[in-house]
């Protein structure tokens, strides 16, 4: 029980720390409907399950045995996140009504973007592997691993859901639409910074 609580606390810190997932969900929640933002969260959560399973079954061992796999994933993942940043920086201005209309019909695209953003960061896999190793006993049963993954999904889903609800409030949304282009430029630059950091960090 203690190991699960420790695992949950570590994961909670990771979830609330600003990163590509938070930026993507924030931008989607402000720029589209709540439904589309929740589709983005669903994609992130599916990716979280993927990294959770990989972490429990020892993807860290693979990264240690074949460092080139980790390096390759970092380069590809970093490039994808830089690409998302470029899309925001180069995005053409559009009326708010048009933006929201498009947003209401792009749930599948939002899901894929959330999934790819989560999976494109191999640091997530390395971090999950680390906290599994630090909090779980050696030869931990499958039930313990699945419980930990369920905790990851519950914490992530709860935080992102509350975040989306807050960003959907009328006053916040109105202020965003007034400064939308400037916010997109800042977000795009941050995405690119995250992507470069992922690709070149050791």
pTM, rounded to two decimals: 0.75
> Exposed, middle or buried: residue 43 (CB in 10 Å: 0-12, 13-18, 19+)?
buried
3-state secondary structure 101-115: HHHCCCHHHHHHHHH
CB of 88 closer than 8 Å to CB of 17 = no
- List, for residues 124-177, the tens digit of each pLDDT value: 777 787 777 777 776 678 888 888 899 999 999 999 999 999 887 777 777 766
- List, for residues 104-126, the tens digit of each pLDDT value: 457 899 999 999 989 887 777 77
CB of 179 closer than 8 Å to CB of 65 = no
CA 177 to chain centre: 23
């Amino acid at each position: 029980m203690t190991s699960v609580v420790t695992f949950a606390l570590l994961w909670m810190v990771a979830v609330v720390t600003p990163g590509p997932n938070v930026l993507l969900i924030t931008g989607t929640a402000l720029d589209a409907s709540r439904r589309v933002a929740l589709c983005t969260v669903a994609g992130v959560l599916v990716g979280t399950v993927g990294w959770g399973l990989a972490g429990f079954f020892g993807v860290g061992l693979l990264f240690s045995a074949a460092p080139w796999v980790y390096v390759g994933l970092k380069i590809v993942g970093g490039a994808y996140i830089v690409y998302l940043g470029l899309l925001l920086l180069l995005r053409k201005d559009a009326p708010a009504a048009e933006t929201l209309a498009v947003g209401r019909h792009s749930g599948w695209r939002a899901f894929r973007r959330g999934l790819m953003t989560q999976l494109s960061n191999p640091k997530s896999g390395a971090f999950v592997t680390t906290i599994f190793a630090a909090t779980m006993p050696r030869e931990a049963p499958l039930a313990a691993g699945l419980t930990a993954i369920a905790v990851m999904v519950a914490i992530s889903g709860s935080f992102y859901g509350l975040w989306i609800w807050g960003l959907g409030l009328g006053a916040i949304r109105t202020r965003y639409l007034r400064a939308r282009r400037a916010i997109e430029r800042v977000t795009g630059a941050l995405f690119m910074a995250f992507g470069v950091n992922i690709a070149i960090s050791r």
